[in-house]
Amino acid sequence: MNERLVEFLVPAAGLVSGLIGAFVGLQNRALLAEVRKELAELENRVIQRINGTYVRAGECQLREQLVHDKLSVIAEEMKNRNATGA
């Protein structure tokens, strides 16, 4: 009787151990996928924040040139108004 019990318990213990290992492995994969997803979302938020805060040097130069052009146009208009006496 003891031999039959041992013949049943040993494979059953191996099967249970394998099932538990598979279950833990699947949980680890799911947790890792969740962490990766959260990390990607955080990375996107950081990049959006940086892009919204900082301006590239080229864009700054273009903005500065545009302001200078507008000021030149306004100054020219003021000169023309003063010259015509309007």
The 10s digit of each residue's pLDDT in 12-59 is 889 999 999 999 999 999 999 999 999 999 999 888 888 767 767 788
Radius of gyration of the chain (CA): 36
What is the pLDDT at residue 48?
83
What is the pLDDT at residue 17?
92
Whole-angstrom distance between the N-terminal and C-terminal Cα of the chain?
119
- Which candidate, 82, 85, 62, places its Cα nearest to that of 74? 82
- Token pair of 46 as six digits: 């950081």
What is the pLDDT at residue 86?
58
